[in-house]
Structure 1
């Protein structure tokens, strides 16, 4: 027999009179459609339909009609019924979401790849309201069997959850199944940043071709990301102001190299240490900068020309994947440093920059600005364990304050 579930209220015993019951609001009270009518289909699976507040009689009539059709053998299969009413499947809805969402093209390309490789093969053909907790548990089980890391599974889960939240906002579905209590969200394993010792930086630097060694100084001495190192130009070096203006990065979008704003669309200026300036001058003398013209932000964007300080062996813009494979990882191996896919990249030079600043007493706010982070809270969460403790100073500060109270 079918039944109608009231998702806004649940019946519980009256605490003042155990022989009576009372209606108690649920966590969903007032959210989405109130009633869920359920019947058992011809294949033994559940068939359901949602109804708004005040439509409890309509929900019961739906049950009566649906059960009659099942008895007569004229019931239309659930998937066909939903598609005839325009219920989109995940693939079509998510594809539109990714295409329309406000993000840079490189991020859009990555998001498309994640859905194409790891989400659509398992869930793409399902109508959105058939993606339930059970389907999500099955999907995550397959991801674990594919030996995807906890971090990557967490990222995929959050990407899918964002799409399903959009479906809730559009009133296509009533709730996001990713938020179900029985769905165990993958938890990323947060590794503490361990700054490289100076000897490791020197060893890796020596292992690089001379043409690329300046990149280690840009990373460790200016806190640049890899794409920012490859995108820095002669005109960005402000010798009078003793600064370097980080205003672009070099990245690949749709297999095309482009110039773009730094991550988070945040330009910044960082102090130019004497050592880094000398290194840049020596590099420029040995490997003169080359004027490079590339589109801005997207493959069909406006063309921009700058004099790049770092270029490839053939005097072309540097592709990060080629650089990592052909030069960075061999340098790691030569220095006896693990060269895994996600460890000991050029980004570790940036961590070293941050750790040196913090050890020197710079504030989290200043370090966050110099690194170009979106939020100082992220900087604090990443590097809080590197902030030096000063217990004697803390004691002195408290003693000084309390002494004023004695007045």
Structure 2
């Protein structure tokens, strides 16, 4: 049969020696493409061309070869090319390798559907993956496919659009009282007492604390300049900036934390602006695992009357609660704690240092009041002689 391109407004159809029909068309990119399969009749070929033409008119057409892009290489490239913190990159690589690749890696991105995503997640949970890990894996997959849909236009719509899959119930973490914080500090070796009080009353994170140097502390004003952190990678510890712009901040310490830190600097910190403030016995960078073993963390918790499973990171909640109880605004609290996305940081970063000092001063009053509770109320007064 003769080529029918001259009789068609879009595309062409020709009969093959096999007796079946082949459809071809020129895409918006100017490239001639052939249908992925042949047709038994010209009517079937015409219907297929009509569908393709409709997709082009509606702006929904995509190069067929894009739909063949496999998730495995695309996802690896996505992680490698993103601007990520080193620790975040490692976490993404692990999530992708352990939870996404085994089931979905060889699938073409264009074949992924909400149904296949639901099936994948169900299998993850059935295989023993915890819900928090499943949520993290789903969130990573959604971010990868968002790029495939919105930037690279490999797919028209992200199949990861299932309500509830990006959330899980997080039990509320415990908040230590001031008395418990001080009791926990008393259980520490001398070298780590100030680390506990500074963590609790400054709101600084572990990685921010162990990155602090002498130059970051202003003893005259009792302030800490937090501008970098240490990320614990698999092979090494790496210094870098905080996770977001909100992490760049100056925090005023309450007097009790300032006093502990001043004493710590005299006893345990080398001279020189670059000397790290918190280190191990031999001056090495601290790792969470080594620290827990060195201070016998679980035993220390029990001796301080604190619940088992209390994390070092939970100390932040004490300072946050105290600061909130002073009447500090949401903006001031977010700045002090460094809790914000980059966008939110632009809103919250305008809190003044003077107001931060007022917050720290009010915290002092509450700490002083709370520490009086350490004395038993029923203590008997000594009898008078005579």
Structure 1 residue 223 and structure 2 residue 196: aligned? no
Question: Does the alignment pair 1:149 with 2:149?
Answer: no
Structure-1 separation of matches of 2:213 and 2:313: 20
Provide the residue aligned with 1:315 in structure 2: 283
Which residue among 275, 278, 284 is the counterpart of 2:265? Answer: 284
Task: Give the superposed CA RMSD.
Answer: 3.4
Equivalent residue for 2:74, pick from 79, 85, 93: 93
- Tell me the residue number matched to 1:121: 102
Cα distance between partner residues in 2 of 1:318 and 1:356: 27
1:215 deviates by 1.2
Report the equivalent of 1:168: 149
Question: Cα deviations across residues 88-121 of structure 1 (Å, max 9, x unaligned)?
Answer: 2111000000000111222111111111111111
Work out whether residues 86 and 231 of structure 2, in 8 Å CA contact, stay in contact via their aligned partners in 1.
no
Instruction: Give the whole-Å Cα distance in 1 for the aligned partners of 2:263 and 2:213.
Output: 15
Shift of 1:208: 2.5
Q: Residues 361-380 of structure 1 correspond to what in structure 2 (within 5 A)? A: 361-375=327-341
Distance 1:239 1:283, change over 3 A: closer
Separation in 2 of the partners of 1:363 and 1:279? 27
Q: What secondary structure is seen at the aligned counterpart in 2 of 1:176?
A: coil
In the other structure, the counterpart of 1:331 is 300
Give yes or no for contact 1:247–1:262 (8 Å, CA) kept in 2.
yes
Task: Please tell me whether the aligned partners of residues 227 and 320 of structure 1 are also in contact (alpha carbons under 8 angstroms).
Answer: no
SS in 2 for 1:263: coil
C-alpha distance in 2, partners of 1:290/1:257?
23
Counterpart pick for 2:317 among 348, 351, 354: 351
* Residue 103 of structure 1: aligned partner: 84
How much has 1:377 moved relative to structure 2?
A: 7.0
Structure 1 unpaired stretches of 5+: 1-50, 69-81, 292-304, 381-407
Distance 1:117 1:337, change over 3 A: farther
Evaluate the alpha carbon distance shift between residue 263 and residue 325 of structure 1 in structure 2; reply closer, same or farther with a 3 A threshold: farther
Query: Which structure 2 residue ranges, 5 or more long, are not aligned?
Result: 1-24, 42-62, 349-386
**Shift of residue 198 of structure 1?**
2.4
Counterparts in 2 of 1:149 and 1:203: CA distance versus 1, 3 Å = farther
SS at structure 2 position matched to 1:177: coil
Q: RCO (CA 8 Å, sep 6+): is it higher in 1 or 2?
A: 2
How far 1:83 sits from its partner (Å)?
Answer: 11
Q: Give yes or no for the alignment of 1:261 onto 2:241.
A: yes
Structure 2 counterpart SS, 1:231: coil
Q: Displacement of 1:130 after TM fit?
A: 2.3
Indicate how the Cα distance of structure 1 residues 140 and 52 shifts in structure 2: closer, same or farther if over 3 A, else same. farther
Compare the two structures and name the one with the higher strand fraction.
1
Q: CA deviation at 1:370?
A: 0.7
CA distance in 1, matches of 2:127, 2:239: 35
Aligned 8 A contact 2:135 2:166 in 1? yes
Residues 242/314 of structure 1: CA separation in 2 closer, same or farther (3 Å cut):
closer
Partners of 2:156 and 2:26 lie apart in 1 by 11
Q: Between Structure 1 and Structure 2, how many residues are aligned?
A: 295
Q: Is the 8 A contact 1:290 1:309 kept in 2?
A: no
User: Superposition pairs for residues 15-30 of structure 1, below 5 Å?
Assistant: none
